A = this chain, B = another copy of it.
Amino acid sequence: MPSQFLAEIIIEGKKNARDPEGETIMRDLMIKHGYDMVTSVRSGKILKVTLEAKDEKEAKEICWKMVNELRIYNPIAHVCTIQIVK
């Protein structure tokens, strides 16, 4: 009997690629308005995917296969992490 799982797929820029959005949010918004305890901001995209699978392990495998096969992230520019949250 398959059950429902919720996977969080997070896609971020590679460390060596500039992240103008994160930089701008930190510099022009946070620091400028007094939040100078902030030392770094990175922006990314998150996909919350609900899927059916046998178990958590299979859910994770399906997701990894999918993100690689469908290039949900572009390995030249991004890194991707996947977490099954329930």
Q: What residues of chain A have their CB less than 8 Å away from a CB belonging to chain B?
A: 2, 4, 10, 12, 22, 25, 29-30, 33, 35, 37-53, 62, 66, 69-70, 72
Contacts and interface: CB of A to CB of B under 8 A. Distances in A.
A48 B41 contact: yes
B12 A48 contact: yes
Given A29-B70, A44-B46, A70-B29, A51 B38 contact: yes
A25 B4 CA distance: 19
Contact of A50 (B2, B33, B38, B47): B38
Nearest to A59: B37
A17 to B, nearest CB: 14
Given A70-B29, A72-B25, A62 B35 contact: yes
A10 B46 contact: yes
